[in-house]
Amino acid sequence: MKNPPPRRPSATRILDQEDLNFLLTNRVPRALLTRFMGWFSKIEHPLVAALSIRIWRLFADLDLSEAREREFRSMHACFTRELKPGARTIDTDPTVLCSPCDAIVGACGPLDGITALQAKGAPYPLTDLLGDAGHVEACRAGHYVTLRLKSSMYHRFHAPADLRVEHVTYFSGDTWNVNPAALKRVEKLFCKNERAVIKARLEGSGVLLTLVPVAAILVASIRLHWLDTLLHAGYRGPQQIPAHASFAKGQEMGWFEHGSTIIVFVPPGFALCPGVEEGSPIRMGQALLRRIDETGSPLAPPRLTA
């Protein structure tokens, strides 16, 4: 006889009701609530931190067993926690792009020209998301994967391959929740929310790789390690930010300050790896996209020479 599935907190089961979920997480003063949470989460007091994390557990399946630290000075420290060494394995196949984060896979697959889906029946044009016509054309007819980080997940993101970042475009925007209930109801949600468009090139081939971290309610803060400023609703710096930063595959690139989304775009010449489909969980470092040849077959890893 199979063991019954673990019981989830009653608050989590209530929020699984989509209409109620959407009402509670979106029909609220989102910007005000996000600013408050940004302030409150950074209060460094052991009792405040412990009580906040305990309440957080009522609404999420928070598992801290893999965290490097066991005690947190603030809720923010828990949100942005590091993992124990060796907690994630990086796929070393050079023809594979690994997942930059722990996530639930959302809409994914080949682009319809320059159109992607945020949910079934809810398309959005890359022109509205990326904001640069040349960048959009470079992605035409490629593949994309939407990676949704639940609030309880590990919130840091890493390089999917050896790469160099050459440009960041920052868009200040709204803070809609990015959960499935909102993605079905809010047209072009990803194009409305605060986001950073990270333009990178794969080392060796120079192939374009685009990562789009999208902030959301209670987040609205994106930390990129090669920038000396935090990108958030109060940021008043330049929108276009040239960059010269190199990362090895699996190296940490930054973090969110709560759960959110990262959308990965690649040009033609890639395909989804087996098991990457909407609704499937994935961990940072697992195979996400693979290089393919003209026939659609996976490229063989290069042979090592003595």
Q: Which residues are catalytic?
A: 102, 158, 260
Burial class for 123, CB neighbours closer than 10 Å (0-12, 13-18, 19+): middle
In three-state secondary structure terms, 222 is strand
* Angle, CA of 26, 29 and 35, to the nearest 5°: 110
In three-state secondary structure terms, 14 is helix
Position 104, amino acid: I
Query: 150 and 259 in contact (C-beta within 8 Å)?
Result: yes
Please give the sequence-ordered ranges of beta strands (E in DSSP) within 120-275, or none if there are none. 122-125, 143-148, 156-158, 163-171, 195-202, 208-214, 221-224, 231-232, 240-247, 252-256, 261-266, 270-272
Query: 243 and 168 in contact (C-beta within 8 Å)?
Result: yes
Query: 288 and 282 in contact (C-beta within 8 Å)?
Result: yes
CA dist 138 and 177 (Å) reads: 29
* Nearest one of 263, 265, 271 to 294, comparing CA atoms: 271
In three-state secondary structure terms, 8 is coil
| Structural element, H or E, at residue 291 | strand 287-291
Contacts of 175 (CB under 8 A, 6+ apart): 30, 31, 34, 193, 194, 215, 216, 217, 218, 219, 220, 233
Structure tokens at 295: 């026939």
CA dist 226 and 30 (Å) reads: 29
